[in-house]
């Protein structure tokens, strides 16, 4: 798409439009093999635009998706052991994206993926206030464990505490807990349950903040809406 050169320069974060206009008038901008003129248009995807001899590299659009990660997939960019990665499930997205935080191989559920580092840091850091909620099917004394989980505990030298703990149901020998956490140490939910003598049979992340998995099928993904992206960016 052809745009005014000053708009292209501004969109690249090099200068404001007014400053870019002055740069054009000063002869500092070149399009392909010619000095740019004020009012001229170009297509950044086709034309080479230089500022003081340095090319403008087109910025990739930011991408934000939510994936319903199945069990058996790992949340890394690649694996030297040949295990399946979540990138295989999003292979039709041509822009390079990466997971926001992790879900271990035996866990499933809501996983955000993006190419926006600021967005990723905001979602993961506890100061963002976006609690992650998990449904955990366990074997053991659910009622006693639920009481213990509501208090701070030490996990490998880290003090952790659930934001909330809810008993979804109790069955013979176990049950289902809904646990919300704001921290994110490695395998935190599993380690908290182990500390309470619970054995985890299955673990599923069902929401992050106000964003819930909904009816998204296992292995499927969708783009976040502008409102959903804004929720995480602006809190």
- The catalytic residues are 104
Q: Is the distance from CB of 47 to CB of 31 less than 8 angstroms?
A: yes
Strand-pair category, 3-4 with 221-223:
unpaired
| Residue 66 near residue 111, CB atoms below 8 Å | yes
Instruction: Assign residue 34 a region (left: φ > 0; alpha: ψ between -120 and 50; beta: otherwise).
Output: beta
3-class state of residue 78 by DSSP: coil
Rounded CA separation 27/104 (Å): 55
Spatial separation of the C-alpha atoms in residues 230 and 235, rounded to whole Å: 8
Query: Which residues does 62 contact at the CB level (< 8 Å), separation at least 6?
Result: 114, 115, 116, 119
């Amino acid at each position: 798409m052809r745009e005014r050169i000053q708009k292209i320069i501004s969109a690249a974060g090099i200068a404001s439009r007014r400053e870019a206009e002055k740069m054009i008038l000063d002869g500092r901008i070149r399009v392909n093999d010619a000095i740019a003129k004020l009012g001229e248009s170009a297509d950044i995807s086709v034309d080479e635009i230089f500022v003081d001899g340095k090319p403008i590299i087109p910025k990739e659009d930011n991408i934000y998706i939510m994936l319903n990660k199945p069990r058996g997939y790992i949340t890394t960019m690649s694996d030297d052991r040949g295990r399946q990665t979540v990138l295989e499930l999003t292979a039709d997205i041509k822009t390079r994206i990466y997971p926001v935080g992790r879900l271990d191989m035996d866990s499933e559920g809501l996983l955000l993926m993006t190419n926006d580092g600021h967005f990723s840091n905001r979602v993961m850091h506890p100061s963002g206030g976006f609690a992650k909620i998990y449904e955990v099917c366990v074997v053991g004394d659910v009622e006693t464990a639920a009481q213990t989980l509501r208090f701070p505990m030490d996990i490998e030298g880290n003090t952790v505490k659930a934001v909330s703990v809810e008993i979804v149901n109790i069955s013979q020998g176990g049950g289902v807990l809904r646990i919300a956490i704001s921290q994110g140490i490695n395998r935190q939910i599993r380690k908290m349950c182990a500390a309470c003598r619970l054995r985890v049979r299955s673990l599923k992340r069902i929401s992050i903040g106000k964003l819930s998995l909904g009816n998204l099928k296992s292995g499927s993904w969708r783009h976040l809406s502008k409102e959903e992206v804004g929720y995480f960016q602006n809190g």
